[in-house]
Amino acid sequence: MFSFNKLLVKAGHVRAKYVKHRNFLMLVSCLVGLFSALAAVALKRSVAFIEHKADALNNWMGSNWLTAIFPLVGAGLSMLILVYVYKNKLIRGVGSIVTAILRDKSRIPKRNILGHIFTAAITTALGGSVGLEAPIVTTGAAIGSGTAHDLRLSHRDTTLLLACGTASGIAAIFNSPFAGIIFVLEIFLLDFSIPFFIPLLISTATATVVSQLLYPQKFVFLNIAGWDMKALPFYVLLGIICGFISVYVTHVVEWVEGYFMNRRLNWKTWLMAGLPLCLLIFMFPRLYGEGYSTVKALLHGHNEVVMSHAAWLHLSPAWSIVMMCVMLILTKAFAASLTVSAGGNGGIFGPSLFIGGVAGFLFAFGINTSGLYVLNTPNFIIAAMAGVLAGVMHAPLTSIFLLAEITGGYTLFVPLMVVSAISYFMTRKYVRHSLYHKSLFEKSILTEEVDQDEDHF
C-alpha cells in the first residue's frame, strides 16, 4: 500500500547520499522564497484591487458613508472563518512565531497558510485599518516550517526555513531583501552563523525577483533628493516627536486589545469593536485600509488627499490639513486595534508606517507654512516612517534598511539613522518591551537577559 511518509523517507535517504546538505538547503530555501512571494503578491494585489474600487465608489457617491460600513462586514466575515472554520487555532501575531521557535521546535501548522491569506484579504480589502505584514509574515513562516516538517529536517533547519519564509514575505511586499533578513534577526532574536545567511539571501532574492515580475505597484518612492546638513536639527526634533508618537501608539494598542483580550470572540465583541471602527472611518476616511495610498499621495505633493470626503471639517485649507493629520495620527492606532478586536486579521506594522508618514508630512508642512525654514517634505515623510516603525517595533535596523530600500538607495541613510535611533531609545525609556515581545516576557518565554544585553550595548 502506498505511503507518502515512506516515500519521503526514501527520498531523504537518496538525497543524503547524492546531494550535499548545504546545497539541498539552498535549493529548498529558493522554493520557500518562491511560494512565500507568491502568497504575499496574491494577498497584496487582491487587497489593492478592491481598495481601489472602494475609492471609486466614494468618488461616485460623493461620500464615504457606505464604505465606512465595509470594515464591519470584513471583520465579521474574518471572525466567522477564524471561529467556525479554524476553531480559533490560527496563530495570531509575530510573538506567536517566536513562541513556536522557542517552545514548539519551530513547528507552525500548515493551516496558517490559507487561513491567514483568506482572513487578512477579507479584513483589509473591506477596509480594516490594519497592515498585511503580520499575516504575510505568518504565512511565510508556515510555508517554511511546513516544508521543513515534510522533509523531516532538524529543528535548526526548520528554524532556518521558517526564517526564509518570513524574510521572503517582507522582501516581496516592499522590494527589500536586506530588510527582510534584518527583520528576522531583529524581531525573532535569532543567532545564525555566517553560512546560514546564504539560504536567507537566496530566498529573499528569489522573493524580490518574483515580486518585481508580478507586483510592480508595490510601495516604492524613488524621487528622493539629497538631504541638507542645515536640516539636521529638524531631523533630531523629528526623532523626538516620533519617539513620543511610538509610546502613544504602543499604549493605545495595548489598552484596546487588552480590553478585548479576555472576551470571547463572538458577535458581541464584533459589534463592540466594529461599530466604533465604522464611526472612526466615516469621520476620518483615510483610515480605510492599510493607508499606503495616502502616504504615496503625500510623497507626491498631493496634500489635499487627507481631506478626501471629510466634508464635516470647515476650516481654512491649511488648518484643515493640520487638524486632519493630527486626528489621523491619534486615531489610526485605535482603528487598527479595533479591527483586530472585532475579529479581523492584521498587524500594527502597516499602521506604524502610515502614522509615521502622516507625522512626517505634518512636521514638514508646519515648518514650511510657518516660514521658519524650507524642508524637503518627502524626506521627512520617509524619515518619520522609519522613526515610528523603529519605536513601535523596537527594531531600528529593520526600519532604517526598509525605508532606505523603499527609496531606492541610501541617500537618506544618515537622517534615517538619526530619527530611528532617537525614536527607538526614547520609546525604550517609557516602553520596556515591544508589542511583539511583551506577552512573551510576561509568560517567561523570553527572559530579561535579552533586554539587559541591549541596555549594555
Question: Which domains, ranges and CATH numbers included, belong to the chain?
Answer: 4-214 (1.10.3080.10), 229-456 (1.10.3080.10)
pLDDT reported for residue 62: 74
pLDDT of residue 89: 86
In the predicted model, what is the mean pLDDT of the chain? 87
More confident residue, 312 or 328: 328
pLDDT tier, 4 (very low <50, low <70, confident <90, very high otherwise):
very low
Confidence at 354, pLDDT banded by 50, 70, 90 = very high
- Average pLDDT estimate for 49-69: 79
What tens digit of pLDDT does each residue of 111-122 get?
Answer: 999 999 999 999
Rounded CA gap, 267 and 273, in Å? 10
DSSP letter for each residue of 398-421: HHHHHHHHHTTSSTTHHHHHHHHH
Could you tell me the pLDDT band of residue 210, with boundaries at 50, 70 and 90? Answer: very high
pLDDT in tens, 98-139: 888 888 888 998 899 999 999 999 999 999 999 999 999 999
Q: Determine what percent of the chain is predicted with pLDDT higher than 90.
A: 55
**What pTM did the predictor assign?**
0.91
The C-alpha cell 513562541 sits at 99
Average pLDDT over residues 331-342: 96
Q: State what percent of residues in the chain have pLDDT above 70.
A: 89
Instruction: Tell me: pLDDT of 29 over 60.
Output: yes
Mean pLDDT of 163-167: 94
Provide the pLDDT for residue 36.
Answer: 94
The confidence score (pLDDT) of residue 395 equals 92
Of 312 and 37, the structure prediction assigns the larger pLDDT to: 37
| pLDDT bracket for residue 451 (50, 70, 90) | low
Question: How far apart (Å, rounded) are the C-alpha atoms in residues 238 and 422?
Answer: 9
Give CA–CA dist 381/99, Å, rounded: 34
Looking at residue 190, the DSSP 8-state letter turns out to be: -
Confidence at residue 25, expressed as pLDDT on a 0 to 100 scale: 87
Cβ(165)–Cβ(182) below 8 Å: no
- Structure confidence at residue 433 (pLDDT): 81
Please give the C-alpha separations between residue 119 and each of 49, 287, 343, 418, in angstroms, as whole numbers: 16, 19, 9, 37
Task: Please tell me the predicted confidence (pLDDT) of residue 288.
Answer: 93
pLDDT of residue 2: 39
Q: Is the pLDDT of residue 10 over 70?
A: no
So what's the pLDDT on residue 175? 84
Query: Would you say residue 32 has pLDDT above 80?
Result: yes
Cα dist from 84 to 79, 119, 270, 443, whole Å? 8, 12, 14, 28
What secondary structure does DSSP assign to 341-370, as a single string? HTT---BSHHHHHHHHHHHHHHHHHHHHHH
Q: Which residues contact 45 (CB under 8 A, 6 or more apart)?
A: 214, 215
| Average confidence (pLDDT) over 260-276 | 91
User: Per residue in 227-240, pLDDT tens?
Assistant: 888 999 999 999 99
- Least confident residue range of 143-152, 231-240, 302-311, 373-382: 302-311
pLDDT at residue 449 in the model: 57
Tell me the pLDDT band of 12, cut-offs 50, 70 and 90.
low
C-beta of residue 296 within 8 angstroms of C-beta of residue 221: yes
Mean pLDDT (whole number) for 182-191: 82
pLDDT of residue 315: 76
pLDDT of residue 423: 97
The dihedral sign for the CA sequence 371, 372, 376, 381: negative
Confidence grade of residue 457 (pLDDT, cut at 50, 70, 90):
very low
Q: What is the mean pLDDT of residues 291-307?
A: 90
Q: Report which of residues 50 and 321 the model is more confident about.
A: 321
Q: Choose between 75 and 218: higher pLDDT.
A: 75
Split at pLDDT 50, 70, 90, the class of 3 is: very low
**pLDDT, tens only, 282-293:** 999 999 988 898
What does the pLDDT average to over 142-151? 91
